[in-house]
A and B are shown apart, each in its own frame.
Chain A
Amino acid sequence: MTTTHTGAVAVEHYSFWYGPKQALFDITLDLAPQTITALIGPSGCGKSTFLRSINRMHDLLPGTRSTGRILLDGDDVLAPSLDVVHLRQRVGMVFQRSNPFPKSIYDNVAYGPRLNRSPSRTETDEVVEQALRRAALWDEVKDRLRESAMGLSGGQQQRLCIARALANEPDVLLLDEPCSALDPIATQHIEELLWELKKDLTIVIVTHNLQQAGRVSDHTAFFYLGQLVEHGPTEQLFTAPREERTEAYITGRFG
């Protein structure tokens, strides 16, 4: 790990409640820069809840609370004094279903940069092009940047959403089952893209697809019933799991 890269996430004894219902139990996990961490586990095990804690998307829901700490480069993201807007620019998020705005491709990517600073025309052009290139979408859309994003295919829309997140130049990228609505080819595009992107990002991906976790991630964390059962290097977790529940899950005995 080099010190020039930021985006180290350290989760310490993090618990989370939806109202009276506890969804996460005492999670402690480090997410290192320049790695991809896959969060796996059956539906409702808390992996999405955990992911959405890192950029505080739960702020929207009334009645949620949490204990413990989530540190981004040493700062507690859960501190009430923290600037959520700034946090969400540093921690980008891509959702399960692609959700481009019903605007042009260009305006979708430019949305984040335009929000909090007022970039000049040429600056915006540059940011948009760079983000689309990083998302491996530039060549496909460069001639129709002004067309509606709704006209793109599902896989292109999802890569557009990644480009939109990248335009904010985040340190961390959170992906919540980004390929669950995509065909195998589009999925492969996204996976290759993630490999490229991890050179300068901390990437966390929630996935139902164990093969995907195996293909794409350096580290894997297995969640079950709100607990972090086991985490470690992906290869080790898949070939020599320490916990019986992990083995049962990855061999398909439940899930």
Chain B
Amino acid sequence: MPSTSLHGASAGDRIYRFATTAFALSIPLLLVLLGVEVAVAAWPALKAFKFSFLTSSDWDAVNGVFGAAPAIYGTIVSSALALVIATPLAIGVAIFLSEFAPAWLRQPVAFFVDLLAAIPSVVYGLWGIFVLVPLLREHVMPFLADRLHLGNTPFFSGPAYGPSMLAAGLILAIMVLPYISSVTREVLMAVPRAQREAALALGATRWEMIRGAVLPYASSGIMGGVILGLGRALGETMAVTMVIGNRHEISASLFAPGYTMASLIANEFSEATNDMHLSALMGVGAVLLAITLVVNIIARWLVWRVQRQARA
């Protein structure tokens, strides 16, 4: 009946709208359910150990004492290390690709950088065990400690085993680089031509234009890319587990083995036989989930801010 369409959506439209709404709502619902489920499962451990779950370094499954501090510390330090290494590289790559690369080089290089994100984590791990870790042990660590005389500082002291916080940070840096780089590239290319021309017309050289007009304009978007990379680094499990050494101890030295929340869960989940151990692992999962969520919300907010600026 054609007349009804003037007054309301037809039955087909209503079904369609209902279906798509249901699909769209199911994703946030899933996230909420996941969070609730993890929190409920973690509750016994969190209640039993309270704040010491976050601050204590004792993780003793046999005696039922669980403090996740070394894993939390390891996750944060290895991710921060990854960002410190990857951010300048990624921004450099993005600046080259968006500002300097000749057209014929732009696509291939961008493709290969993006391809880094497609390599399976376990392959990075294997490469880490057989190439990166020996390289660190034989060359890099002795060089840093002895040649650069950094061995006396707490950050580079101790024996060079190979598997270490440094190895984890390096492998994470390679893994997050494509994320930071491709977001940065997009943001740089979104800087309006008017901004570039304004700088050039005032007598800026190309580099002055990039430094003085393009990068400041893009800064919060770049920040969003960095935090997206951080989100990736925080949750990365396989490759890190394979090279970090998995020792439940906090050490200032980057040469020392460490642990991350993700590797802790991955390593112990299958062996968790009693309820408290399982609940402690869930607690670690809850902490990791909370940190990752917050980081992603901040990233989204920063990117949103730069987009709003660009429209204004």
A-B contact pairs, 18 of them (CB 8 A): A57-B197, A60-B197, A85-B203, A88-B202, A88-B203, A92-B201, A93-B201, A99-B194, A101-B212, A101-B213, A102-B309, A103-B216, A111-B199, A112-B203, A115-B204, A116-B203, A150-B312, A165-B202
Interface string of B175-192 (1 = CB under 8 A from A): 000000000000000001
- Contact between chains at B202 and A95 (CB < 8 Å): no
Interface code B270-310, partner A: CB below 8 Å = 1, 0 otherwise?
A: 00000000000000000000000000000000000000010
Are A60 and B202 in touch, CB under 8 angstroms? Answer: no
A55 at the interface (CB under 8 A from B): yes
Q: Which A residues lie within 8 Å of B213 (CB)?
A: 101
CB–CB B201/A102 < 8 A: no
Q: For the complex, is B80 an interface residue (Cβ under 8 Å from A)?
A: no
Q: Is A198 an interface residue (CB 8 A)?
A: no
Q: B195: CB under 8 A from chain A?
A: yes
Asked whether, in the complex, the Cβ of B200 is within 8 Å of the Cβ of A60, the reply is: yes
**Given contacts A102-B216, A103-B216, A150-B312, A115 and B203 within 8 Å (CB-CB):** yes
Instruction: Specify which of B195, B200, B205, B208 is in contact with A101 (CB 8 Å cutoff).
Output: B195
Bound-complex Cα distance A164 to B195 (A): 13
Considering the complex, give the chain B residue whose CB is closest to the CB of A116: B203
Tell me the nearest residue of chain B to A161, going by C-beta. Answer: B198
Please indicate the chain B residues that have their CB under 8 angstroms from the CB of A164 in the complex: 198, 202
Instruction: List, in ascending order, chain B residues with CB within 8 A of A88's CB.
Output: 200-203
The answer to whether B194 and A112 have CB atoms under 8 Å apart is no
Chain A residues with a Cβ closer than 8 Å to the other chain, count: 25
- A34 contacts across to B, CB distance below 8 A: none
B99 CB, nearest partner CB in chain A, Å: 11
Residue B59 is within 8 A (CB to CB) of chain A in the complex: no
B124 contacts A by Cβ under 8 Å: no
| Nearest CB of B to A147, in Å | 15
Set of chain A residues within 8 Å of B205, measured between Cβ atoms: 85
A164 to chain B, nearest CB (A): 7
Which residues of B are interface residues toward A (Cβ below 8 A)?
192, 194-205, 208, 212-213, 216-217, 309, 312
Say yes or no: A55 contacts B201, CB within 8 Å: yes
Closest 7 CB pairs between A and B? A99-B194, A89-B203, A93-B201, A112-B202, A88-B203, A99-B198, A85-B203
A54-97 interface (Cβ within 8 A of B) = 55, 57, 60, 85-86, 88-89, 92-93, 95, 97
A100-140 CB mask vs B (1 if < 8 Å, else 0) is 11110000000110011000000000000000000000000
Query: A99-B192, A101-B217 known; A111 and B200 CB under 8 Å?
Result: no
Q: Is the CB of B203 within 8 A of A86?
A: yes
User: Which residues from chain A sit less than 8 Å from chain B, CB to CB?
Assistant: 55, 57, 60, 85-86, 88-89, 92-93, 95, 97, 99-103, 111-112, 115-116, 150, 161, 164-165, 168
**Beyond A101-B216, A101-B217, A115-B208, is A168–B202 a contact (Cβ under 8 Å)?**
yes
Docked CA distance A214–B66 (Å): 84
Q: Which residue of B lies closest to A86 (CB)?
A: B203
Shortest C-beta distance, B209 to chain A (Å), equals 10
Known: A57-B197, A60-B200, A99-B195. A115 touches B217 (CB 8 A): no
Q: A168: which B residues are within 8 A, CB to CB?
A: 202-203
Write out the residue numbers on chain B whose beta carbons fall within 8 Å of the beta carbon of A112: 202-203
Q: Let me know if B201 and A101 touch, CB within 8 A.
A: no
Max chain A C-beta neighbours (<10 A), residue from B197, B201, B217:
B201
Across the interface, do B194 and A97 meet the contact criterion of CB distance under 8 Å?
A: yes
Would A115 and B202 count as touching, CB distance under 8 A?
A: yes
Chain B residues with Cβ under 8 A from A93's Cβ? 197, 201
| Distance from A96 Cβ to chain B, minimum over Cβ atoms (Å) | 9
Nearest-neighbour CB distance to chain B for A50, whole angstroms, equals 16
Q: A39 vs B200: C-alpha distance in the bound complex, in angstroms?
A: 23
Question: How far is A168 from B197 in the complex, measured between Cα atoms in Å?
Answer: 16
A94 smallest CB distance to B (angstroms) = 8
> How distant is the Cα of A161 from the Cα of B194 in the complex, in angstroms?
12
Known A-B contacts A115-B208, A115-B212, A150-B312; A101 and B203 likewise in contact (beta carbons under 8 Å): no
| B201: A residues at CB distance < 8 A | 55, 57, 88, 92-93, 95, 165
> Would you give the shortest CB distance from A84 to chain B, in whole angstroms?
8
CB distance from A202 to the nearest CB of B (A): 16
**What residues on B are CB-neighbors of A86 within 8 Å?**
203
